[in-house]
């Protein structure tokens, strides 16, 4: 399951590095676990699993890793706190 505080946050960063090339074994397993978890969450909301799996399909050789240093994070959920900075 995705932590609600993380799912509702938007991060901003100043630096980023993209690692291209074949993903490591851990990267591929993480991508698969995230895909399975998200598929299960949407299936629980009655989304068709085949549609979700089609939308989330990825070519393992096309994966890239992005590393960044966050400098700010903001509330992303609609409502009166939308856009409010998150406490450190």
What is this structure's pTM? 0.58
**Spatial separation of the C-alpha atoms in residues 2 and 37, rounded to whole Å:** 8
User: How do the residues of the chain divide into helix, strand and coil, expressed in percent and rounded to 5?
Assistant: 40, 25, 35
| 58, two tokens | 């990825």
**Spatial separation of the C-alpha atoms in residues 72 and 33, rounded to whole Å:** 27
Of the listed ranges 10-19, 25-34, 49-58, 74-83, the one predicted with least confidence: 10-19
Higher pLDDT, 52 or 25: 52
Per-residue pLDDT tens digits for 5-48? 444 555 677 777 887 776 777 888 999 999 999 999 999 999 99
pLDDT mean across residues, the chain? 82
């Amino acid at each position: 399951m995705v932590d609600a505080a993380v799912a509702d946050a938007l991060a901003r960063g100043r630096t980023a590095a993209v690692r291209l090339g074949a993903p490591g074994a851990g990267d591929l397993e993480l991508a698969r676990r995230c895909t399975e978890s998200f598929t299960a969450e949407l299936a629980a909301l009655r989304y068709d699993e085949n549609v979700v799996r089609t939308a989330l399909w990825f070519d393992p050789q096309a994966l890239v890793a992005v590393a960044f240093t966050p400098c700010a994070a903001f509330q992303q959920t609609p409502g009166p706190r939308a856009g409010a900075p998150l406490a450190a």
